[in-house]
Structure 1
């Protein structure tokens, strides 16, 4: 599906746009309105005693941003850093956070008809952070509530009281 420039407010049938990215063999989608920018991966400055999946922090135009490696967070088999590895900078409420992913695919517009309820199974992702499964053609996306995921207690990044 091609990238569209329509705003999600005027989209037909309540369609929303999702930025799609890959982690290992899976494809995920997050609300495009939460994305501030996409950058190439650069090694962050490590923070002592941070969980393994928090790679450290980077200075982005004067703002210190925590960097979460989603491949480690989701227990992916491999977490190699190569030319496709990118950091998606998210703007969540009043907090800016970066997430490391294997690659960014594209922007897809999905309507409610394209989204199914995710099965209730045990996984590395809290089920309450999965909005559903999006399908377009033969592609299946795991749609994440990235704000809820980043503000979960085990992340320790975004205050739930904001």
Structure 2
């Protein structure tokens, strides 16, 4: 049986797949620089290590209205032939191998007349994966607006006169002024994070990511922590938590995640920190999948996804060993936003008998 590899992501509660070979990298959404005269699905550009990366709003590409962006949105960088583009999506999940026998090709679903429809040209097929229907996308058709920008660098763009730019791009039918302002309703704190991400992408040199460690950066009690991204299933906002009677204090409660009941844990106690008793508007959940255990941990905030060089990880300072009785659950420290970030040994925490997650909860 042959398999095809796809990156699975969700957008507006629907699931989509892109061929893994077309995906270059994934990172959390940075600030986008809006450019007038862009084709409608393209909302602007970012400076990715000195090169222009056009950014497409997936909502607009599907023909829907533009929506507010979130700090938890992702930017998926994909390429097709000579064109590279970023696509804004809600949540990236994982790479999955899908048997070709489970893929229904678009010609088997729609008539030839329907396939001529502009929106349907995005769809290459449909697949069933773990009770979910995945819409498989055509990378080439998804980014067909951006071929003319493929050879531009930031320097080229900044030194090109307006007339050349206008002739170089397709003329949109209309352009709303609001689209020239990135995330106009963002709070000052959110805007600062968007801007820091954009700065990091400008300054980061292209390097071999195979030796780097992917980490999710979270906030607990106003401190930075990081954990291996490999166990992270998704990030989600917390709308309502249902308490579970007669359970240990580290079991925070249950949430309904698209019809699936997920138990939230509070790991602060294991890290010798004050536990949380109520949720706030900022609280988020990190859903993990570890040894077939799917659950979540409640966090103050999800800040970033980073790729860390192992050489940048330092041993735990003596003052932490002295003041933190459970420092054995930390792998080391690193600098994040000019502050110390502790790297969590998440597997050791979750298999800790104090959490009794091996029992039914």
| Short-chain TM bin | 0.7 to 0.9
Higher RCO (C-alpha 8 Å, min separation 6): 1
Residue 148 of structure 1: CA displacement?
Answer: 2.6
Q: Does 1:138 align with 2:131?
A: yes
Question: Are 1:65 and 2:53 matched, yes or no?
Answer: yes
Secondary structure, aligned partner of 1:158: helix
TM-fit CA distance, 1:69? 0.6
- Higher Cα Rg, which structure: 2
1:117: Cα distance to partner?
3.3
Structure 2, unmatched stretches of 5+, are 149-361
1:78–1:47: structure 2 CA closer, same or farther, 3 Å change rule? closer
Partners of 1:27 and 1:140 within 8 A in 2: yes
Question: Contact 1:24–1:78 (CA<8 Å) still a contact in 2?
Answer: no
Asked whether the 8 Å contact 2:8–2:93 carries over to 1, the reply is yes
Q: Which has the higher strand share?
A: 1
User: How has the CA–CA distance of structure 1 residues 95 and 78 changed in structure 2, closer, same or farther, with 3 Å as cutoff?
Assistant: closer
Structure 2 match to 1:34: 22
TM-score normalised by structure 1 residue count: 0.78
Cα distance change on mapping 1:93 and 1:49 into 2, 3 Å: same
Q: 1:103-122 alignment to 2 at 5 Å?
A: 103-118=91-106, 119-120=109-110
Q: CA RMSD in A?
A: 2.2
TM-score (norm 2): 0.37
Query: Per the alignment, in what secondary structure is the counterpart of residue 141 of structure 2?
Result: helix
In the TM superposition, what is the alpha-carbon distance from 1:136 to its structure 2 partner?
1.6
What is the count of residue pairs matched by the alignment? 143
Match of 2:120 in 1: 127
The one of 82, 106, 111 equivalent to 1:94 is 82
